[in-house]
Structure 1
Amino acid sequence: MTTIKIHVLHTGLVKVDAGLPFHDKFRNPLAYTGILRSHVNQVTLPVSSYLIEHPKGLVLIDTGWNELVRQSQWRELGLQTQINKAYLPAGWSVREQLQQLGYQPSDIDYLMLSHLHSDHASGLPLVKDAQHILTSTPEWNTAQHDRLRYIPKMWRGVDVQTFDFDHTDLGPFHRSFDLFGDGSMQFIYVPGHSHGLAATLIQGHQGEQVLLASDTGYAQESIDHLYTPGIVVNRTQALESVAWIQQKASEPQVIETLTNHDPAIRPHTITLA
């Protein structure tokens, strides 16, 4: 196999206040919490994961929701249900969609977590048999002590390893990690929404690229208008990260740019020759 296939999967839905994906559209800095705001301000967004069939291995990026949310959102998310409401239709879990594509979790060579917020890591126990499970060192270190933004039980008993961002010419802060060492799959340091957030740049043999922007912005609207998310650890870094995504997305070799929660994006498969 010389081509790279990127399967864009929806591994759940999340209902949030519109201030969470589009902080800069609202004067109320706490709009994203939904506190004292009507339900008419809520929007339902997809939660995406990506399965990449690469010549050097099968790679899964993020995991969506655990199947446990079908029984009890509260048991899985606790107080986070005040901000994020999780939904997982039948057949949508990462485990179920892997099976539909003919794979088992143990077939995954690399499970890469862009960051460890619940909508990206909740499904981790469903695919814990992946050969290697990685997230960035700054993300892992922060998640060990920040109980407001992270739920550590989601990776309890899972062998999560870390990778370091190298100093490179790539990204808003010139730091990235090259998974295979050949430039075909690079994880780019784009902090702001979280301390160790990673976007992904995938390049085919002929030079075409796909940019997975993760949560630097929640939708194409975020990239177009430089809207930062409601939840950030550093607003300045978040703005610089989404601005870099905007600039990179405009380059002619980038054929698709995908944010993780864009309701306009449907599940589909991208092939890079």
Structure 2
Amino acid sequence: MSGAARAVPGRWELPALRLWHAALAGGFLVAWLTADEDTYRMHVFAGYWVLIAVALRLGLATVGTRQGPLALTRPGRSRLMIWMGGVLMTMVGVAALSGVIADGKSAFEDVHEGLSNAALWLIPAHAALVAWVFQGKRLRDKVIGAARVSAVPMLLLAGLVLAVPAQAADPARDAILAGYAKAAKAADPGFGGFSAARGESIYRARNTVNADYPSCATCHTDDPTQPGRHAKTGREIAPAAVSANPKRFTDAEKVEERFNRDCKTVLGRECSARDRGDFIAFLSSK
């Protein structure tokens, strides 16, 4: 193809770019919504889909015209848009790649989660930048004016948001246990506290409800300080014991979600507040 021909954008390029955006966004959304053991295979599929989409974007740039929408850089295009697109695509690709690594090495799970969260926040930032560039001076003047007024409070708020998680690991677990203790006391006025021994009984109890998961130890091993492996997907699981995995039982939403799911799956019943506190007490003692 001659240089002159390549300078004229093809009619197919803009639809191709829109389809690519839909494929990447759809894959990322599915991966985000299926980040759980029950839907893990779909999560893995979506992750590979995202990786392929990122690679495809680079390929499309080589077959598109220099002045067309598929070009990664072109004269007249905002440098900020170019940088934001590059950063977003890189972050999404690295997040997906870290998921591939985490699939075999559970130590990378936190890295994968952090990169995925960062990529998630970059998406609305990218959309805002598109509006910033294409909606003209009026929008920019409004945003700049608002930013001048709110810059200091926003910086202070960001500092608080960043500071809180670093200090909240143990207090967060204590708060979860306090909530379970309150619920257990309400259910049984004679409740005298949680028991690591009872928690160990739950951990090691065997059942016939689900042949794939006869006990907690099936996936987490008899020694909860060691990495486990999911009985169905084969994915490595970080140690269940708090001593080996200090982040265990520090996210109240995840704790509730997993108790609600796993008690039914493994024990064939709901876990009471006392059961949950006992279980945490056992794994906190290991």
Length-normalised TM-score, structure 1 = 0.24
Structure of greater relative contact order (alpha carbons < 8 Å, 6+ residues apart):
1
Q: Which of the pair is proportionally richer in strand?
A: 1
Length-normalised TM-score, structure 2 = 0.24
Of structures 1 and 2, the larger Rg is shown by: 2
